[in-house]
Structure 1
Amino acid sequence: MSLETQVQDTGADVGSGRAVRSGGRAGRRQKRSGAQLASGVPYITRHLPPHDILSEESLARIEETADTILAEIGIEFRDDPAALDLWRGAGAGVEGVRVRFPKGLVQELVKTAPREFTQHARNPANNVRIGGSSVVFAPAYGSPFVMDLDEGRRYGTIEDFRNFIKLAQSSPWLHHSGGTICEPVDVPVNKRHLDMVQAHITFSDRPFLGSVTAEERAEDSIDMARILFGADFVEENCVIMGNLNVNSPLVWDGTMTKVLRAYARANQGTVLVPFILGGAMGPVTTAGAIAQAHAETLAGCALTQLVRPGAPVIYGNFLSSMSLRSGSPTFGTPEPAAGSLVVGQLARRAGLPLRCAGNFTTSKLPDAHAMNEGTMSMLSAIHCGANFILHSAGFLDGLLSMSYEKFMMDADFCGALHTYLGSVVVDDNSLALDAFREVGPGNHFFGCEHTMRNYETAFFDAGIADNDPFEKWQENGSVDAATRANRAWKETLAAYEAPPLEAAIDEALSDFVARRKAACEDRWY
């Protein structure tokens, strides 16, 4: 398993969701920066087109290389005889656990997957559309540690997990509750998935991800979704997804494929993601790593369609680099960022929704280093055309730590991206001829009627930023961004109110969790 999945299984071991007062500067800021979401828009519809960087010839060469990998080298499907039977029945060559694919087979199979689909939320106003021109931001995923300025780095707990769900629910700039936002290591490994899914359902009314660490845990997650939505609704609609990693290079292990098949046969979504550290789990060259990832992803996507044609699946990718001097992973570097743009082109050619990149960094603090790398990688997700962006907020320490402060700073950046993805509106109001006529040459626009009519929505106003003059900032204590973010997450949690949940559903979920926990002994490994 790769790092995203591994950190869930350690066993050894909460746009800026800030508190907003009803009046004053904070209230005005929320009115301005939240205007786009005031009508309940649950995801972004991009008006900024994806950026294509490779020619048809170069894309065709990458696809041909991926086809050759699939046909000549193949992919191992370990510890899942049922998956091998499916491939054998589809016409692939199966030798032991090695599967080799006739050219064009996986591409033909994925044609039954939807190009776009809806993931339903318990509050229908928060349903998200995945694919096409839609962009969905979700928190970071899978960290065993959490961090804040008060207590430093420590193992995550179920309280931390619930806190991050509350912070995500409180943010106008995030759209999805996420999954394993941090690993709650104070709950037994074989039971924590029950508490995590229940927390998503209880503390958020947005879509969420289920467990992927074992087939029975995926089944529990889907059963809990059936309690929430009703079995008939779940049979026909996507209400939960699993985020699964390839064991790169060129291995799908049985834990992942059994979970993949569980979600697919229930008609629920899967997000299938190679996690390639260049020079370790793949070539150091970007083109080679992309070809490998394309082969691995398409094979997984095709397997979902063998299980149930039409099951929703997201083409995922997680390119990263490493320090070839030390062997340490690196994140937020330029080569994977450029590579993500190519991945976007390949996903669109395959006709599949895309999860790619995110707010990545190896920084150990919510500092300039973190935001520099995070901006590089997050913009690559925006420009590659990613539809579902996991790791949008909170990622620190090379995915090992979930940071309270960086969560708030990243959510603010997601708010800015709402505006950025809106591109530039051109209409009578935006062209402002009435303002030019009123102001004339040599005068200022600050007090004109057009400015007064548009000032509340003209510019994004970041919640964490301090735009006061230097002297006023100094008089107010010279507070830096991380300290402002520390105050913001505490205020947000203090102001949080859980969205109402029907009492009968709450009771049924609690009963399910209690029965499942009582059915087995605690396991801590």
Structure 2
Amino acid sequence: MQQFTRFFTDEQRVRIHEASLEILENVGLLVRNKKAREIFAKHGCEVDNQTTLVKIPRKIVEECRKSFVPTYTFTAQDPQYDVTLPGDRPVVVTGSSAPNIIDPITGEERRATSADIANIAYLINELPGFDVFSISTLAEDAPKGQFSLSRFYPALKNCKKPVRSNTPSIADLEQVLELGYLIAGSKEAYMERPFINHHYCPVVSPLTMDVESTEAVIYLTEMGLPVYGTIVPNAGMTSPMTMMGTLVLGNAEFLALATLIQLIRPGAPMIYAVLSTVADMRTGNYAPGAVETGILQMAHTEMARFYNVPSGGYIGLTNSHVNDAQSGYETGINTTAALCAGADLFNMGGLLGSLMAFDFAKAVIDNEIALMLKRIKRGMEFSEENMALDLIKQVGPGGSYMDLEHTMANMRTTAVLPKVANRDPRGRWEDMGRPDAHARAMKEAKKILTKENPARFPAELDEKIRAHFPGIVAGDARWYE
């Protein structure tokens, strides 16, 4: 049986839950979306349409808890890449929706384009540590009326792993679903295997449900399509400046969203996903790379186990603007802490500067961290065979295991063999020009992106999509000139 790091006793977890119910029942939350208010009112919640305040009685939350389900599946275009939480944990996802990119040629930060998304999609398809491509950037070159298409089309065209992102409006969402129907061959085929995965942040801390994201969650839940939300309290700004106050507020916000989803469709899969942070009150700066983000993720994950739902979120982010020691220790410490606490989902890949810019080298480095996390998850793999007693007797004192078939058979599975981390003697490293981790990672990214892309759409399908959406971006992956 797996053991996880725990902060709380059974009694303390119950008290956190009770405190969250008190908030929902006595304080309530502002629900800006009219349809959401109607759903809450229909099921017995106290709704004030003038102020938009909704109070949710604990009995309604507790009734909805009965329909929580313990798994969530990310479906891919290629079924071999389907992943299910928690069984396939840790499921590693790219960070998403950054406006900018670090240009791989100039090293300068600039606005990202649809061509960048195509290249990132292909890179993530080829990096084995990543399980889901959450579209990493926006697309500055999107034609009018095709904002979301200009993100999802190059992503789906170049990546066969599950693709995840959001849309700013229902009109954009409907366009993206049309794209999915075309790729699948029909709406019916798509509904059987919905390989576009949707994610929103409908709850704006403190205790407010917005209009558009909430509308999208309702729309997708009613259709029976995959969707989940992330809760994002920021201590000192949008939640109390204590870890426990932020946990209780964020937990209440998760329960409010979960209740809405279950009222619409009991048994709808969900993820208890968070990006709970503590602001740096010396400046007011956002600090997703701080160790407190990892601690809060651990606590939320403990509550997710209390509710028997998958957990995770944006964990392993960095405030650093370059691939330096800060970037490495912020990503490494927080993801390891979350893994030890039992988190299932890790939105950790590729972003620098507090989610503001994608960097190809960072994605390759994070792929290596992801492989290490997966190795930690495997652990020691206790068995009589793995103790290798017969082999130890055979080799005996003073012998060598280096040239044995047993060593050759196990060398690639026992250890992570990194491509970025340097293990050469100093002299060899100096002879190679003293490359740092960033340089080695960029070399690996270029090596991948200059090869033929095996994930690309067949020409016939691409022609069909381009005829259906006139003027759509090219969406082709190719290395930068």
TM-score in terms of structure 1 length: 0.84
Matched, 1:255 2:212: yes
1:6 matched to which residue of 2?
A: none
Q: 1:383 to 1:456 in 2, by over 3 A?
A: closer
Q: For residues 513 and 385 of structure 1, do their structure 2 counterparts lie closer, same or farther at Cα, with a shift above 3 Å needed?
A: farther
Name the counterpart of 2:332: 375
User: How far does residue 361 in structure 1 lie from its aligned partner after superposition?
Assistant: 0.8
Partner Cα separation in structure 2 for residue 113 and residue 221 of structure 1: 28
Q: 1:514 to 1:190 in 2, by over 3 A?
A: same
1:231 aligns with 2:187: yes
Seen in structure 2, the aligned counterparts of structure 1 residues 352 and 212 have a Cα distance that, compared at 3 Å, is farther
**In structure 1, C-alpha distance between the alignment counterparts of 2:413 and 2:311, rounded to whole Å:** 31
The question of whether the paired residues in 1 share the 8 Å contact of 2:286 and 2:354 is answered with yes
Aligned match of 1:314? 271
Deviation at 1:220, TM superposition (A): 1.9
Point out the more displaced range, 460-469 or 378-387.
378-387
Residue 272 in 1 paired to residue 229 in 2? yes
Q: Is the 8 A contact 1:211 1:217 kept in 2?
A: no
Task: Name 1:164's counterpart in structure 2.
Answer: 120
1:73 aligns with 2:27: yes
Displacement of 1:203 in angstroms is 0.6
Change (3 A) 1:509 1:194: same
The yes-or-no answer on 1:403 pairing with 2:359 is: yes
Question: 1:468 is matched with which residue?
Answer: 424
Equivalent position to 2:163, from 192, 196, 208: 208
1:502 CA drift (Å): 4.7
1:93-139, Cα deviation, whole Å (9 max, x unpaired): 00121100101322422433432143321111111213355332111
Which residue of the partner structure matches residue 129 of structure 1?
84
1:99 aligns with 2:40: no
For the structure 1 residues 384 and 508, does the alpha-carbon distance in structure 2 shift closer, same or farther, using more than 3 Å as the test? farther
Residue 354 (str. 1) matches residue 311 (str. 2): yes
The gaps in structure 2 that reach 5 residues or longer are 474-481
Contact 1:357-1:378 at 8 Å conserved across structures: no
SS of alignment partner, residue 196 of structure 1: helix
Alpha-carbon RMSD across the aligned residues, in angstroms, is 2.1
Counterpart residue type for residue 317 of structure 1? V
Q: Taking structure 1 as reference, are residues 49 and 266 closer, same or farther at Cα in structure 2, changes over 3 Å only? A: farther
Partner of 2:38: 85
Q: Map residues 100-119 of structure 1 onto 2, 5 A cutoff.
A: 100-119=55-74
Match of 1:118, SS state, is strand
Cα deviation digits, residues 423-466 of structure 1 (max 9, x gap): 11122432011231122223443334532442333311111112
SS at match of 2:90: strand
Secondary structure of the 2:213 match is helix
In structure 1, the residue matched to 2:283 is 326
Q: Distance in 1 between matches of 2:161 and 2:408?
A: 35
Q: Distance in 2 between matches of 1:188 and 1:349?
A: 46
Q: Tell me, yes or no, if structure 1 residue 61 matches structure 2 residue 15.
A: yes
Q: Which amino acid aligns with 2:7?
A: I
Aligned AA (2:424): D
SS where residue 241 of structure 1 aligns?
Answer: strand
**Equivalent in the alignment of 2:149:** 194
CA distance in 2, matches of 1:421, 1:194: 36
Does 2:444 match 1:478?
no
Output the amino acid matched with 1:212.
Answer: T
3-state SS, counterpart of residue 464 of structure 2? helix
Q: How does 1:416-455 map to 2 (within 5 A)?
A: 416-455=372-411
Deviation at 1:468, TM superposition (A): 0.9
User: How many residues of Structure 1 are paired with residues of Structure 2 in the alignment?
Assistant: 468
Question: Residues 336-358 of structure 1, C-alpha deviation per residue, up to 9 Å, x if partnerless?
Answer: 21221111121122232223342
- Separation in 1 of the partners of 2:283 and 2:131? 37
Deviation at 1:247, TM superposition (A): 1.1
> Is the counterpart of residue 497 in structure 1 residue 450 in structure 2?
no
SS at match of 2:470: helix
> How far does the alpha carbon of each residue in 1:371-422 deviate from its partner, in whole angstroms, 9 at most, with x for none?
01111221233223232322x2112101111111111101111112221111
Select between 401-410 and 448-457 the one with higher mean Cα deviation. 448-457
CA spacing shift, 1:487–1:516, aligned 2, 3 Å: closer
1:271 match: secondary structure: strand
Larger RCO (CA within 8 A; separation ≥ 6): 1
